[in-house]
Amino acid sequence: MKNNIEIKNIAIQALQEEAKSVENLIQKIDDDFVSVIHHILDLKGRVIVTGIGKSAIIAQKIVATLNSTGTPSIFMHAADAIHGDLGIIQANDLIIAISKSGNTPEIKVLVPFLKQTGNTLVALVGNTESFLAKNANFVLDTTVEKEACPNNLAPTSSTTAQLAMGDAVAVCLQECRAFTDRDFAKYHPGGALGKQLYLKVEDLANQNGKPAVNSNATVKEIIIEITKNRLGAVAVLTEEQVVGIITDGDIRRMLEKYTDISAITATDVMGTNPKVIMHSELAVNALHMMRENNVSQLLVTNNGLYAGIVHIQDLLKEGII
């Protein structure tokens, strides 16, 4: 059994080995890499990414990254391809085949069929002298000196290099297409990432009531309005314009301070510097403002007029936090 220090050192050594495998890729960004980027940018079809074993898992991640950054892509398992899935490939597609050795039996069987289709074949391979590399139109070299595995057997550094090369391709395509955060949101509408890029304050405020009282409202009226809407606050208005805010904390402090509350009005209780956000702002900006000011709700305005309240619980429910 290894002691704690030995375990930490093993982990550090594995990470250093994998980091070196990625750093070495910098020297392998060559003309073939640039040609692959141009071919994909001009592509009328999809990018088909294939592999077997651990390389197949990396292929699936690369496909997911390409799809989410604007490059239509499909994963095709190399073993399934020779049992019918070759029908996935269409005339205008480009194929990226991922393999460490480039000489696995499945790849050797698959490559001749891929060549017959006439599609551009890219080898993302760890052996530039392999069968796959010699039969590809372009080679993305992911050769590594050794695996992080102590026996130099389990795919570790090699799969890390494959993944990093795939990310490099995706990022280049993204930059070349001027793919923006708005474009990214189109492909992630249901996730927290997408919501940070498109969900507006008004989308949240419109789901809530619009608790409001005038400046002459009594304590009873204020409490009823706060309780009814369950947002922990009420806006104080003069002709639809915000002049203050009263939170449930303000009510508690007022009750502690005064014995007779019969003559107290909203003006006596309200905070006169409420934190306000425009309805058109992104919801994630509301989160930043809440954190900066240590508050749980913000008043929302539209063209200077009161439009509702957004509460931190709204952000929690939408997964923004």
Give the integer Cα–Cα distance in Å for 106 and 52. 8
Residues of the chain with pLDDT below 50 are: none
pLDDT for res 61: 97
What's the length of the chain?
321
pLDDT for res 181: 65
In the chain the domains, ranked by start, together with CATH numbers, are 4-179 (3.40.50.10490), 198-317 (3.10.580.10)
pLDDT for res 194: 62
pLDDT for res 15: 95
Handedness of CA 94, 100, 103, 106 (dihedral sign): negative
Let me know: does 22 contact 68? Beta carbons within 8 Å: no
pLDDT for res 27: 96
pLDDT for res 84: 78
pLDDT tens-place string over residues 132-161: 999 999 999 999 999 998 888 889 999 999
The predicted model scores a pTM of 0.67
C-alpha distance across the termini of the chain, in Å: 41
pLDDT for res 316: 87
Residue 48's H or E segment, with its range, is: strand 47-51
Identify any residues that bridge with 115 across adjacent strands, giving them in sequence order.
none
Tokens representing 179 are 């793919």
Residue 260's H or E segment, with its range, is: none
Let me know: does 126 contact 140? Beta carbons within 8 Å: no
pLDDT for res 262: 86
pLDDT for res 68: 84
Whether 279 has a binding-site annotation, put simply, is no
